[in-house]
Amino acid sequence: MAAEQRPLSEVQFLTVAEVASVMRVSKMTVYRLVHSGHLPAIRVGRSFRVPENAVHEYLRESFVGVDTA
């Protein structure tokens, strides 16, 4: 079930630092993905929160050379 279809109380949000740790990239890379629209996020004050499912979906779609059909 997509994050948009679940009640907000059930959606787990990650900080930019947590996303960077999961993806093993820098925080700047995460900010670039958010600002480019490749990774959805919500703004909380001056920081961003990314739905955990969106991170997993982004990684699933990013596999190279893997037939997912």
Q: What is the pLDDT of residues 14-56, one digit of tens each?
A: 999 999 999 999 999 999 999 999 999 999 999 999 999 999 9
Number of residues written out for the chain:
69
Which phi and psi (to 5°) does residue 35 adopt? -70, -30
> Which residue type occupies 46?
R
CATH number for the domain that contains residue 15: 1.10.10
Domain range spanning residue 36? Answer: 10-61
Tokens of residue 44, six digits? 């909380």
Task: Say how many domains are in the chain.
Answer: 1
68: confidence class by pLDDT, cuts 50, 70, 90: low
Whether 4 is covered by a domain: the verdict is no
Whether 67 is covered by a domain: the verdict is no
What is the DSSP-derived secondary structure letter of residue 48? E
Contact predicate 13/52, CB 8 Å: yes
Higher pLDDT, 17 or 67: 17
Closest by Cα among 6, 66, 28, 37 to 52: 6
Q: Considering the entire predicted model, what is its pTM?
A: 0.79
